[in-house]
Structure 1
């Protein structure tokens, strides 16, 4: 074949003309989109125009060949559109998927020509996803690679030898699909499942990939692929006509496909490139451009995303049921199911995985709320799922159920909530079929409800179901949360409160208060006695209290503990609230319920439990302090008895000088270690040690010195650590009566992804020493090194206003300041520096950096050690903080 293919050099003018034509094509697509055409209409136009443009380039390139070359290629080469190109559902900047098929006799000519023409497409600005194969090679590849095989289910000839394309597609349908349709379906499902997990595994991610996230366009493609295997057609309407989809399912899928395709096209056109992720900025833009209006409790973007998630949830549910209908287990599994299946109540058939009902009993079982809830109760008790056919029938019947809930149905529902082991899966099935919303109508409001902030990673309904699953998982937990969960007698009430705890979101009023009212009505609907109604509604009203107190208050303060315990009222309610708190935070997202938050909340739980169990010595602070001091003294392990006694006397004197929050909130072993350092260090020494925690990827810096050396320690340390690209997660501040400073800062070091190396620790320690001794201008360091730092949010998400709240009642010793502000690198330093300028001493800090709007809490005292009492002084502190933070945010926004 050498010499048959002449050079395919072409002028720059032809490239420019083709590029111009491609841009004209996209401009027409944009125009159609902006005129309001549907997603599928715009995609069809895009595909039609692109087909014509591609075919034109292929013809031009072939015309450049000699006559003999043209004849060979026209007879023995064809171009097949596959994947999205084959379906005719391209977005403006999608890759174009082409399969170049050639007869083996034309291998050399085809290889040379395809190589040249592909280069032409790339030069023109079109990205190709292409392969070059003989028909036999393509068929062999399709049997081995599920991704390649699925791309061929919508294949169509685009250009070239028609007989070659027709013969290949016929053989593909017969040898790759027809003779191995179950294998093909299984491989396609497995490939999609792997992709689904790669993109988050949840239909309700808050920044979803429109194409690949669960419930996205790819799930619709999966239905079409499996449908092609079993019905010989991949078009949704054809699947409906052939019985593969119900009319309602087909309508929902077509509606979702059109909606998601339109969103995807909008993303491409805005970005000017391939972009399938619906980012937070894009969500705001779509809501604005579509004219979505907000309500008192929901922002426009939240209502837009609720509509989006309703489509993806519908797609995910239909996809799951469709696949379950068409997946037949292996023969060995079928035999095992047959052997292990047994009948109960003369109706239910319990298998290893599913609960079945014979066809003749289904209408009776699924035709009433009582029958359905008893069916779910049996599944929960035997720890199996309902057969897919039963779920489909229940979903059809639930809309006919009477509005009122009978006592029998209520007992069955509470029985379900009292089970463990598979409760999460049972509730998800009840939610998918509509049964859960029938029993608890307010859950309809939170279906697919979005909270547009950076704290929650899931929609409200998904978060709710995950909270129940998290609580259920505590049964196997060996720690205090697991112990508390196992000790709860009425787990049904705990699980009910978790189902309802966020039902009040999306309204103007505080969701805890709205949820409390809803719970009062729903517990009456369920027929609960009054004391249980009060318990459930109280849990919902107070479900944020442990988080707020544990992370924002000094839980060693007897006043805080007394008020909290008074509000909770009983040890059983406290156990429920504790588990509720852990489950709620666990369900927010990975890593939110972490070790240090667990420690803070658990400490509050254990101290409150002592009081509610009748051991009121907890509130006898002198007794508690004496006990803490004795535990520290027990850590003295000197072998020389005289030396030991001398050391004990020194420590006794020292311990009396430390503040209560340090003695009551610090482990005795740590206090003993601190005392050894305090007693052995030189007067001017600044002792610094570090401890890396791999579980949280954080490092703690502990600084021990004297206030004569480290004047203004808090603001200098926060400024230094921030300037070194560290996020301060918590701070424990302690100054003894004789001026000894013991401060500990838990930070995340953004310069190191794993364990922080020693050279970095040494560098930070040296910088801290220089800052405390006054050898370093901390403010100048902060200004120089934080100007271009990427930490923190790049713009406010919540749009909540800056607030500084002064609480002079919670503590007898100190004034408490709560600061609500947008998370910015350097915010903590700005606050600390302002307090220092006001001669206010920070004695305790609670740092929260996990919200899009942080809540930092500071316990402050006057220079003489007392709380701030003068109203003018309190106003000055508040006004100064507001002014400094506002100016800081303005400077940050101007970067």
Structure 2
């Protein structure tokens, strides 16, 4: 909208005229982005100017001005943005007259329901407040006159800018601290499924901070792509305001599809990827800028001392320490040596990156930009030196992340590895995942770097870690697609055919160990043999074991625990023995441990369930963090119909979430006697909220559930009716399948469903109705998803015929639907 159109639209200077013109502007679908924000700011300026002029005439106040500050001062007025206004006056009018002037401006704004952040100050008061409050000073840096005495505003702007530049040595570290605190509190925008577009790291607040740094004349942010990134975030916020009708900066899951549609994007994933790319640009610019600020401020503080040491006007030359061929350290950054020739040295980008990661230093922005334009492309396949430098970069640990991000910011990674483009900034909808796909791959390599001492071929482990999810950018099973892509990429990197085959196998089966260990019966020979057939050799098994741990640790806190690690280690030992020529023994009844034996004897003696709830400290992972799988609950009781649904239902009634579970028939040692059909249930549970219930209460309710005096289904139905569900978030339907050839001893029914209170009870009840015996159950919960496997047999203890197994699967799926 042009200024003429704005003026015409506001011939009625009153609130109703402004409101109508504002509504018409926001409804113009053809006009969005910066033009609409500019037009909205001009429309608001014209209305406020009329208000100010009328109010000033009515109160007789002279020497005053209405000033837009903050986002309104920058002209970034989104549909539901606050109006940040300062009424500036020279103090010549009385306090009562100034207060009356303010009231005549503020009240019409409030009457329209617009959010208003307002203040009334003299220039001296504004300067004093800015000196005491950094946020006020930042807002005044964007001060823009709306109406009134322009000279008054110009003088204030000059003073505030001068103060900002003179106080940069104190104010900039304070601003940096605010950014770090905000990042810790709000997270990183480029990885969040429901990001705050303003407050999260890499968001609009950081983009504004970069403007403030530039105004200090200490350093300037990298300009390439920054304005576009800021515009993208503002456009998304505009669409979010219009979609929700609220002044919100949080891009909630249930609103993402609508926001994407308003912006003409395909879906919510396309929206998030665009947001992530913008946030990554802002984050990288932020890192580079604050590093430069630290360097400049450090140099300024050292200058007087250096001048006295060097004498007179002599200048200190930064020391240059060689790091690798063509690469040196200078002033805390990695830069090119004067003799470097990137146009003749295609390995130089990887050599510089590896040297930076190994030394724990950042790559100079100028170096990365120069390498992007000047370095000659690597030949395909890569020479051995390039492959070795890539492995060195990946093996550097935590320092790899910063270096990799610098290369990605300038497009060097996708030039080296073109298939990387499909996973770059790709969101992962499973909340178990902390990172986007590309960052998860780098984090997995970081985790794998700490495990390289455990394997004979660390280079293959690190490259497989980098590529294990590379297929997520393609349709279908990402492991199958990833195998093909990884084979091509490994060949490109320069591995021979044998090593390429190993990398491809690792990518194809990177989920095999953890899924088998948590969802299959490890005592069943078919389980061990299937893994051995897929892996093929002990050397590949060794690598796959390390990759499994690195992948899980890099996924998020819910993906790994000492319990899962123990299951995977047990599986690996069994598979290694089979690959070494030892045939797995046929399963025998489980021999209980000491605590299980105690409970089993008690159950045999009383004929009723015996329980133990271990509430001691949880074991820790390798990195020292406690595992998030809850506490252990053991239940021993004679086998009888309805055990699984009854036990699961009681836990659900007591608001205990089942993180993992195992149900087994056990055999007591000779001399203790008792029937062979004794069951021991080993659960990992966590309270949804509050403290854990007492074991005695659980036992009482379990006895009642088994004898029928406690109606589990009715009680759970009451809870289900009251259970809060997130609006707009639709879970995919449950899927129940029969795992083919998973066991010769039983039929394996696998259930994938949204985790919910009573889920395990409903599954157990459906299996009971189907008249099958549950030989063992293996429950695994990752975030909001449950993947459970049940080994079932017919009445004679054998596997179910094909059609019968399919019928049972349909019954379970129907019960969950």
TM-score class normalised by the smaller sequence = 0.7 to 0.9
Offset from partner CA, 1:322-356 (integer Å, 9 cap, x none): 44445425147899998986335685433584223
Does residue 1:867 correspond to 2:805, yes or no?
no
Rate the CA distance shift 1:158–1:595 in 2: closer, same or farther, 3 A: farther
Please state whether the residue corresponding to 2:229 is helix, strand or coil.
helix
Please state whether the residue corresponding to 1:741 is helix, strand or coil.
strand
Q: Which runs of 5+ in 2 are unaligned?
A: 1-11, 307-315, 619-625, 667-674
Distance 1:432 1:490 in 2: 30
Please state whether the residue corresponding to 2:541 is helix, strand or coil.
helix
Distance 1:840 1:18 in 2: 77
Distance 1:144 1:611 in 2: 72
Offset from partner CA, 1:756-794 (integer Å, 9 cap, x none): 365xx6554443332123211111111122211126896
Distance 1:218 1:120 in 2: 29
Matched positions, count? 777
1:268 CA displacement: 0.6
Does residue 1:31 correspond to 2:18, yes or no?
no
Does residue 1:342 correspond to 2:321, yes or no?
yes
1:143 aligns with one of 117, 127, 131:
131
Is contact 1:414-1:492 (8 Å) kept? Answer: yes
Offset from partner CA, 1:493-516 (integer Å, 9 cap, x none): 211111111221232232222221
Offset from partner CA, 1:705-751 (integer Å, 9 cap, x none): 3345xx40111222233244433222222344544332233233223
Offset from partner CA, 1:376-405 (integer Å, 9 cap, x none): 233334333322321222233358666764
Is contact 1:43-1:261 (8 Å) kept? Answer: no
Distance 1:786 1:717 in 2: 18
Is contact 1:25-1:50 (8 Å) kept? Answer: no
Please state whether the residue corresponding to 2:658 is helix, strand or coil.
strand
Rate the CA distance shift 1:582–1:164 in 2: closer, same or farther, 3 A: same
2:311: which partner in 1? none
Is contact 1:91-1:265 (8 Å) kept? Answer: yes
Is contact 2:603-2:609 (8 Å) kept? Answer: no
Rate the CA distance shift 1:620–1:290 in 2: closer, same or farther, 3 A: same
Rate the CA distance shift 1:244–1:741 in 2: closer, same or farther, 3 A: closer
2:298 aligns with one of 330, 344, 348:
330
Is contact 2:344-2:376 (8 Å) kept? Answer: no
1:616 aligns with one of 582, 585, 588:
582
2:615: which partner in 1? 691
1:432 aligns with one of 406, 409, 414:
409
1:391-790 pair list within 5 angstroms: 391-398=368-375, 405-420=382-397, 422-472=399-449, 475=450, 485-612=452-579, 614=580, 616=582, 619-620=584-585, 659-660=589-590, 663=591, 668-675=593-600, 677-678=602-603, 681-684=605-608, 686-687=610-611, 689=613, 691=615, 695=626, 696=628, 698-707=630-639, 711-736=641-666, 737-752=675-690, 755-756=691-692, 758=694, 763-790=697-724
1:265: which partner in 2? 238
Offset from partner CA, 1:613-646 (integer Å, 9 cap, x none): x4837x2357xx6xxxxxxxxxxxxxxxxxxxxx
1:51: which partner in 2? 45
Please state whether the residue corresponding to 2:194 is helix, strand or coil.
coil
Does residue 1:815 correspond to 2:794, yes or no?
no
Rate the CA distance shift 1:740–1:18 in 2: closer, same or farther, 3 A: farther
Distance 1:792 1:867 in 2: 43
Rate the CA distance shift 1:775–1:22 in 2: closer, same or farther, 3 A: farther
Offset from partner CA, 1:57-85 (integer Å, 9 cap, x none): 44555566xxxxx33x432x433211101
Offset from partner CA, 1:372-431 (integer Å, 9 cap, x none): 222223333433332232122223335866676444433433443454463333333333
Distance 2:189 2:333 in 1: 23
Q: Which runs of 5+ in 1 are unaligned?
A: 1-15, 65-69, 232-242, 294-299, 476-481, 626-658, 887-895
Distance 1:167 1:792 in 2: 52
TM-score where L is the length of structure 1:
0.79
Please state whether the residue corresponding to 2:160 is helix, strand or coil.
helix
Distance 1:822 1:282 in 2: 21
Offset from partner CA, 1:444-498 (integer Å, 9 cap, x none): 22112234444434321122122222323xx3xxxxxx5xx42223322211111
Rate the CA distance shift 1:83–1:291 in 2: closer, same or farther, 3 A: closer
Is contact 1:206-1:457 (8 Å) kept? Answer: no
Is contact 1:398-1:435 (8 Å) kept? Answer: no
Distance 2:439 2:368 in 1: 19
Distance 2:39 2:346 in 1: 48
1:389 aligns with one of 366, 382, 390:
366
Is contact 2:190-2:425 (8 Å) kept? Answer: no
1:639: which partner in 2? none
Please state whether the residue corresponding to 1:230 is helix, strand or coil.
coil
Please state whether the residue corresponding to 2:575 is helix, strand or coil.
helix
Q: Which structure dedicates a bigger proportion of its chain to helix?
A: 1
